[in-house]
Structure 1
Amino acid sequence: MKGSFRPSNPAQLDADAAIIGSGAGGASVADVLTAAGLSVIMLEEGKHIPSSAASPIASEAISAAWRCGGVTSAIGRPPIVYAEGCCVGGGTEINSAITQRADSALIEQWRKLNKIENFTPDELTPYYERAEAAVNASLTPGPLGRATDILRQAGEALGWKVSDLKRGQRDCKGANRCSYVCPSGAKQSMAVTLLPKAVDCGMRLLAQTRVHKIRIEKGRAIEVLAQSRAEGGPALSVRVKANMVFVCAGAIHTAALLRCSGVHKRVGDTLRFHPTIKATALFSEPVDAHKSRPPLAAITEFMPDQRIGGSVFTPGIFGLSLAEDWKNRGDLMRDWRFCGSYYGMIRPRGVGSVRLIPGSNGPVVTFKLVPEDWTALSQVLTRLGQALFAAGARKVFPSITGHEGWTSPDQVHEFWNKPLPKQATNLMTIHLFSSCPPGEHRDVCAVDSYGRVRGIENLFVADGSLIPEAPGVNPQMTSMALAFRVAEAALCHSPRERARSASRDRNQEDC
């Protein structure tokens, strides 16, 4: 990407604004600021992976674009595996580009709960529309393949609502490599859309540059301290002075960076996931899920609290999913063309945290499921099993280590009235948010209604960290909408007004 560079010597840079992170949040902020004519420097820990360099091999692709090869997990009982992008474009490079808005009733609930100013469905609509236009959110024409038809067939058989899913795409080729980096550039990730636009407007993008601290003095973010390191090369110091600093590193690393910079109050205390349980379905006829796009329909009968959908499926990713119980599931690789991978997702009541421990290589993430979450997981797994048998599955294997699998729809009610085995249940998520919720409820909210960190005049959060609770849908559109909103507010509110507000915050914290 033109404008993406790494300094050859230690660098001291200046700009109107510094943006930390290049995913959905950071790219949206850059779009607003560069359009207003500001000089912008963006710092991204990961490398830039052009579409032409995207590997078709699962292990190589995941190693290149996913943080820690996709094997990070939150400590809990059980641990929950989560995935984060670590490349230019962030999580938008490894997700399926599904575009959904948060439910209007939830938005109203969040507004009242956190006392968020100017935060109604109508007030957020223009920001959602801007996000959808940026990625060309649209339905995919033509046949979508058996993997999608299975969900539609299940909904029809059971009388459950099924919704077609829009994606951020332009002329999708159906390569089914969404969890890698799209090889054709058809997936409208940030590296294809807003980032090149911002670079064309003069933004400087430093890839492979990890920010380790924001220096804060007298209620202002004074300097961003980072190191730039190419593979095999020396680490070079990068220091950026900016009038405004936007932290857009994702729900986990935004909270971790703020805490590392001395900002602790209510930061990283309210992390939320979408705990997700999967099931593998074996059919009598070939599904050939690898030949079509990811399933572009979802069972939405039980939303926003529960949702049933389908996963990206390639032989490599399928093999990785079976590895959680290879002893009992490895034989399914022989029948991989007859298999599909599906999931049930819940909105949890449990809460996680992000903390720093001296000597650790990264933030420590914990998440505690509460009894209501286990009930919801049991329900959604039962409904997932019902759906797959209704669509003609011959056998269904829930993501529970040692489970022999179900061979008839009568068996799927096994866990309806009893909890899942905590030690054997394998949970994961790709949706992370809520570590820095906004609002004027000071006992809960880490930032104000417009993303400004309390007590600091020119420091803002603008990514999925701001989503007040789990939205029950893919969070990218909401992350972008809130980031647009934060950036516009930062431009509209005068520095003097922000300084007065920061001073009030500090005085109230001292009381």
Structure 2
Amino acid sequence: MRGTFRLSSELQLEADAVIIGSGAGGASVADVLTASGLSVVMLEEGKHVPSSSASPVASEAFAAAWRSGGLTAAFGQPPIAYAEGRCVGGGTEINSAIAQRADNYLIDQWRKVYKIENFTPDELTQYYQRAVATVNASLTPGPVGRATDILRQGGDVLGWEVSELKRGQRGCKGANRCAFVCPSGAKQSMAVTLLPKAIDRGMRLFAQTRVAKIRLVNGRATEVIARSWDVAGQGRSIRVKAGMVFVCAGAIHTPAILRRSGLRERIGNTLRVHPTIKATALFDEPVDAHRSRLPLTAVTEFMPEQRIGGSVFTPALFGLSLAGDWINRGDLMQHWRFCGSYYGMIRPRGVGAVRPLPGINEPLVRFTLAPEDWIALGQILTRLGQVMFAAGARKVFPNIFGHEGWTSPDQVHEFWDNPLPKRQTNLMTVHLFSSCPPGEHRDVCAVDSYGRVRGVENLFVADGSLIPEAPGVNPQMTIMALAFRVAEAALSHSVKERAQSAATDRR
């Protein structure tokens, strides 16, 4: 990416603002600030992975763009595997680019519960529209493949609502490598959209630069202290002094950075995710899911509490999914062209926590499912089995270790009234949020209604940490909308501060 900088010596910088993280939140903040003429420094822990060098090999792609190569998990019973992007563009480089806004009912509920000012569906519409326009959220024209048709067919048979999904795209080639960094640049990630614009306006972006902490003096953030690595792996220190600091490192690392900086009140105590359970469906006719995009329909009958969708499918990813129970599932590999991978996700009532650990890069993440979450997971797994059989599946294998699979729709009710086996159930998520909820309810909110960290005049959070609770949909549009809103409010606040300072100086 033109304008991306790497450090070759120790460096001290000054700017109007420093942004930590280059994903959906950080890039949106950068767009607002640079459009207003501010000097901006952005610090990104991961590498820049250009489309031209994006590897089609799963192991190489994961190592380049995913945090810890995709091997991260929140501790609990059971642990929940989660995925985060760790590259320029953050999670937008490895996600499916599905564009949805949070349900209006949920937005209203959050406003009331958390006492968030100026937070209604109407007031957020302008920011959602900006996010949608940024990524060109649109339906995918032309044939989208059998993997998509399976969800549509099964939903129609059952009389359930099935919705087509818009994605952030321009001329998608259907390479089916969304999770590997798009090889054509058609996916409208932050590295394709907002970051180049911000760099053209003068933003300085430092990749492979990990923030250690933010220095706080007398209720202000005065300096961001980080370390950068060069091509040879040699570390250099970097310090950035700025009038405003925006922490946009995601729902895991934003609270970790704030806590390492000495801020702990209500920070990192309310992590939420979308607990997700997968199933493999075997059909009599070839699905050939690897030849088309991920399924671009979803069963939305039970939203926002529950949703059924489809996953990216390649032979390598399918083999990886079977590896955890190879003794019972390994034979499916020879039938991979006849298989599809689908999931059910829920809005949980349980919460998690994030805590940094001394001397260790990755924080400790915990998540505890509430009893009602287990009921909901049993329900959504049942419904997932129903829709697969309604679409003609021969056999359905829920992602439960040692489970022999279902061979008829009569069997899928196994967990409707009975709890899932906790130790054998494999759960995952690609959606994380809510670790720094906003609002004026001071007993539960880490930041104010506009993302400003309490007690610090010029420190803001602008990423998935701000989404008050699980939205029940892919979160990118909501992250961008809230980040645009935070950046505009911070600019307004900064102007007022300067005006007050100037008035004081004239006295």
- Provide TM-score, normalisation by structure 1: 0.97
Q: Which residue of 1 aligns with 2:469?
A: 469
Q: Which residue of 2 aligns with 1:422?
A: 422
Structure 2 Cα separation of the partners of residues 208 and 396 of structure 1: 43
SS at match of 1:131: helix
Judge conservation of contact 1:281–1:393 (CA < 8 Å) in 2.
yes
- What displacement does 1:361 show? 3.5
Q: Which residue of 2 aligns with 1:405?
A: 405
- What displacement does 1:230 show? 2.9
Say if 1:160 and 1:499 are closer, same or farther in 2 by CA, change over 3 A: farther
2:497 aligned with 1:484, yes or no? no
- What displacement does 1:234 show? 1.0
SS at match of 1:14: strand
- What displacement does 1:356 show? 2.0
Note the alpha carbon deviations across 1:175-206, whole angstroms, 9 max, x for none. Answer: 00000100000000000000001000100000
Q: Which residue of 2 aligns with 1:199?
A: 199
Q: Which amino acid aligns with 1:271?
A: L
- What displacement does 1:497 show? 5.3
Larger displacement relative to structure 2 (246-255 or 351-360): 351-360
**Which 5+ residue runs of structure 1 have no aligned equivalent?**
501-511
Note the alpha carbon deviations across 1:422-468, whole angstroms, 9 max, x for none. Answer: 00000000000000000000000000000000010000000000000
Judge conservation of contact 1:210–1:228 (CA < 8 Å) in 2.
yes
Q: Which residue of 2 aligns with 1:357?
A: 357
SS at match of 1:97: coil
Say if 1:66 and 1:498 are closer, same or farther in 2 by CA, change over 3 A: farther
Judge conservation of contact 1:457–1:498 (CA < 8 Å) in 2.
no
Structure 1 Cα separation of the partners of residues 212 and 451 of structure 2: 21
Q: Which amino acid aligns with 1:377?
A: L
Structure 1 Cα separation of the partners of residues 5 and 495 of structure 2: 31
Note the alpha carbon deviations across 1:363-413, whole angstroms, 9 max, x for none. Answer: 100000011000000000000000000000000000000000000000000
Larger displacement relative to structure 2 (448-457 or 323-332): 323-332
**Which 5+ residue runs of structure 2 have no aligned equivalent?**
501-507
- Identity, % of aligned positions: 78
- What displacement does 1:71 show? 1.0
SS at match of 1:144: coil
How many corresponding residue pairs? 500
Structure 1 Cα separation of the partners of residues 327 and 49 of structure 2: 35
2:56 aligned with 1:41, yes or no? no
Q: Which amino acid aligns with 1:259?
A: R
SS at match of 2:473: coil
SS at match of 2:237: strand
Judge conservation of contact 1:144–1:292 (CA < 8 Å) in 2.
yes
Q: Which residue of 2 aligns with 1:64?
A: 64
Judge conservation of contact 1:457–1:495 (CA < 8 Å) in 2.
no
Q: Which residue of 2 aligns with 1:124?
A: 124
Judge conservation of contact 2:170–2:186 (CA < 8 Å) in 1.
yes
- What displacement does 1:308 show? 0.1
Q: Which residue of 2 aligns with 1:506?
A: none
Structure 2 Cα separation of the partners of residues 399 and 141 of structure 1: 32
- Say what the alpha-carbon RMSD is for the aligned residues: 1.1
Structure 2 Cα separation of the partners of residues 325 and 190 of structure 1: 36
Q: Please give the residue correspondences for 1:40-439 in structure 2 after superposition, counting only pairs within 5 Å.
A: 40-439=40-439
Q: Which residue of 2 aligns with 1:507?
A: none
Judge conservation of contact 2:8–2:230 (CA < 8 Å) in 1.
no
Q: Which amino acid aligns with 2:445?
A: C
- What displacement does 1:498 show? 10
Structure 1 Cα separation of the partners of residues 198 and 315 of structure 2: 37
Q: Which residue of 2 aligns with 1:458?
A: 458
Q: Which residue of 1 aligns with 2:505?
A: none
Q: Which amino acid aligns with 2:33?
A: L
Note the alpha carbon deviations across 1:264-294, whole angstroms, 9 max, x for none. Answer: 0000000000000000000000000000011
Structure 1 Cα separation of the partners of residues 322 and 194 of structure 2: 36
Structure 2 Cα separation of the partners of residues 290 and 499 of structure 1: 58
- What displacement does 1:16 show? 0.3
Judge conservation of contact 1:214–1:224 (CA < 8 Å) in 2.
yes
Q: Which amino acid aligns with 2:218?
A: K
- What displacement does 1:31 show? 0.2
Structure 2 Cα separation of the partners of residues 97 and 47 of structure 1: 20
Structure 2 Cα separation of the partners of residues 88 and 246 of structure 1: 16
SS at match of 1:394: strand
Structure 2 Cα separation of the partners of residues 476 and 233 of structure 1: 32
Larger displacement relative to structure 2 (18-27 or 351-360): 351-360
Note the alpha carbon deviations across 1:330-358, whole angstroms, 9 max, x for none. Answer: 11110100000000000000000001233
Structure 2 Cα separation of the partners of residues 69 and 231 of structure 1: 19
Note the alpha carbon deviations across 1:120-145, whole angstroms, 9 max, x for none. Answer: 00000000000000000000001110
Judge conservation of contact 1:274–1:432 (CA < 8 Å) in 2.
yes
Structure 1 Cα separation of the partners of residues 232 and 213 of structure 2: 23
Structure 2 Cα separation of the partners of residues 248 and 359 of structure 1: 22
